[in-house]
C-alpha cells in the first residue's frame, strides 16, 4: 500500500492515536484525509476533511461511506474503555465495548470494502491491543472485545484478498493518550505508535507489533497460561 497519493479515512480522529494518524498520513503525502469523529467539532488537524461518524450507528457509517466514495485506506481507530469486568460488570457497558470494537469495526469494514474494491483495492488498518491476547481484572470487557477484533481482522483479511485489499492489524501495549489517563506503567508516544503502524502498512505487513509489551505477550501464548499470569502485573 503506497500512502503517497492515497485517500484515507480515520475513525476517532479527534484525539490520541487517531489525531496522529490523520496528521502523519498528510505528512506522508496522502492526497486527502477524512478525519471522522462522533464529535467532529473537536477535530483540529489542519488540512483534513472532517466528517461525523459514530461507528456504533449503522446510519452514520452508511452516510460516511456515501460521502467518502474515493477512499483507498481506512484506519479503524475509534475505541472506548469502560473499566468493566465480565462476571460482575454492567452488561450495558460490556455490550458498548463489543459494539464499538467488534461490531463498530466490522460495520466500517463492510461499508467501505466495496469502495476500496471499486477504487482498485487499498488497505484497512485495525488498531488492536496486547489485551487481545491476555485478560486483566478490571478491563476484561475491553480485553474480550479486542480479542474479537483481532479475530475479525484475521477473518476479513482472508475475505478481502480477492478484492486486492490489504488488512493490517496494529497491536500495542499502552500509549500515552487520554484513554490511559491514570496509568503509571510504561507507555509509548502516540507519534511512535502511528509511525510504526504506517511503516507496516507501507511494507504490506499483516500485523505490526508496536512495542516490547505486544511482542512479549504474543510470544507467551505458546506456553502454559499459568506462567504468564503468575508474573507481576504490568
Alpha helix ranges (H) inside 68-104: 91-98
C-alpha cell at 222: 505458546
pLDDT tens digits, 217-232: 999 999 999 998 887 6
Nearest Cα neighbor of 3 from 202, 223, 231, 227 is 202
Give 22-55 pLDDT, tens digit per residue: 999 999 999 999 999 999 999 999 999 999 999 9
> Which residue is catalytic, options 34, 142, 183, 229?
142
69: confidence class by pLDDT, cuts 50, 70, 90: very high
Q: Residue 191's CB: how many other CB atoms inside 10 A?
A: 14
Q: What percent of the chain has pLDDT over 90?
A: 87
| Mean confidence (pLDDT) of the chain | 93
Across residues 118-137, what is the average pLDDT?
95
Query: What pTM was estimated for this model as a whole?
Result: 0.93
Residue 214 has pLDDT above 90, yes or no: yes
Q: Where are the alpha helices (DSSP H) in 28-173?
A: 58-67, 91-98, 105-118, 140-160
Interaxial angle between packed helices 91-98 and 140-160, expressed in degrees from 0 to 180 and rounded to the nearest 10: 30
Superfamily per CATH, domain 7-229: NAD(P)-binding Rossmann-like Domain (3.40.50.720)
Q: How far is CA 222 from CA 24, 208, 213, 226, in A?
A: 35, 19, 16, 12
d(CA 214, CA 221): 11
Domain extents in the chain:
7-229
**142 a catalytic residue:** yes
pLDDT 10s digits, 154-190:
999 999 999 999 999 999 987 666 665 566 667 678 8
Amino acid at each position: 500500500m503506497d500512502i503517497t497519493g492515497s485517500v484515507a479515512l480515520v475513525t476517532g480522529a479527534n484525539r490520541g492515536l487517531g489525531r496522529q494518524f490523520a496528521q502523519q498520513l498528510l505528512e506522508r503525502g496522502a492526497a486527502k484525509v477524512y478525519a471522522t469523529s462522533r464529535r467532529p467539532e473537536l477535530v483540529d488537524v489542519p488540512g483534513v476533511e472532517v466528517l461525523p461518524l459514530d461507528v456504533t450507528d449503522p446510519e452514520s457509517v452508511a452516510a460516511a461511506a456515501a460521502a467518502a466514495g474515493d477512499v483507498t485506506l481506512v484506519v479503524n481507530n475509534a475505541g472506548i474503555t469502560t473499566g468493566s469486568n465480565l462476571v460482575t460488570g454492567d452488561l450495558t457497558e460490556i455490550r458498548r465495548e463489543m459494539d464499538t470494537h467488534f461490531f463498530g469495526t466490522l460495520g466500517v469494514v463492510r461499508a467501505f470494502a466495496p469502495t476500496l474494491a471499486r477504487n482498485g483495492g487499498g488497505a484497512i488498518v485495525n488498531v488492536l491491543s496486547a489485551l487481545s491476547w491476555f485478560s486483566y481484572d478490571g478491563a476484561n470487557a475491553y480485553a474480550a472485545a479486542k480479542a474479537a477484533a483481532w479475530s475479525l481482522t484475521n477473518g476479513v483479511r482472508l475475505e478481502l484478498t480477492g478484492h486486492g485489499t490489504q488488512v493490517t492489524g496494529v497491536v500495542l501495549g499502552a500509549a500515552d493518550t487520554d484513554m490511559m489517563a491514570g496509568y503509571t506503567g510504561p507507555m509509548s508516544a502516540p507519534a511512535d505508535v502511528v509511525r510504526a503502524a504506517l511503516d507496516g502498512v507501507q511494507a504490506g505487513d499483516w500485523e505490526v507489533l508496536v512495542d516490547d509489551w505486544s511482542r512479549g505477550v504474543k510470544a507467551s501464548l505458546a506456553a502454559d497460561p499459568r506462567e504468564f499470569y503468575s508474573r507481576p502485573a504490568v
